[in-house]
Amino acid sequence: MNDLAEILSELNQRLARIEERLASPNERPRLEKEWFTVPEAAEMLGKQPFTIREWCRLGRIHAKKRKCGRGRTTEWVISLEELQRYANEGLLPT
């Protein structure tokens, strides 16, 4: 019975430490990315990657191509500022 009381006491202490960590703000500064890939932007905006690629291709959002992998392969990347602009103002006109 004494062992059970010790185990419960230890568990309560651990839970208290966990709750304290969850309640306190994160001490490390959050690093925000400057550029996002199409899949990342799609997840953030709640859209499909195909839709984001089409918006990039049609100029509905400002994006640029960057090299990826080997050879001449490129992918669209979208800046954090552009994602914020889209959230505030919506798509650019065609």
Task: Please check whether residue 51 lies inside any domain of the structure.
Answer: yes
Task: Please check whether residue 5 lies inside any domain of the structure.
Answer: no
Residues recorded for the chain: 94
CB atoms within 10 A of CB 56: 21
Domain that holds residue 41: 35-89
Task: Please check whether residue 44 lies inside any domain of the structure.
Answer: yes
Please tell me the predicted confidence (pLDDT) of residue 25: 63
Task: Please check whether residue 23 lies inside any domain of the structure.
Answer: no
Task: Please check whether residue 80 lies inside any domain of the structure.
Answer: yes
Task: Please check whether residue 24 lies inside any domain of the structure.
Answer: no
Task: Please check whether residue 94 lies inside any domain of the structure.
Answer: no
Give average pLDDT by consecutive 10-residue segment, the chain, 94 residues: 85 88 64 87 94 96 91 92 93 90
Separation CA 12–CA 44 (nearest Å): 37
Q: DSSP secondary-structure letter at 14?
A: H
Query: Which ranges of 31-90 would DSSP assign to H, the alpha helix?
Result: 38-45, 49-58, 80-89
How many domains are contained in the chain? 1
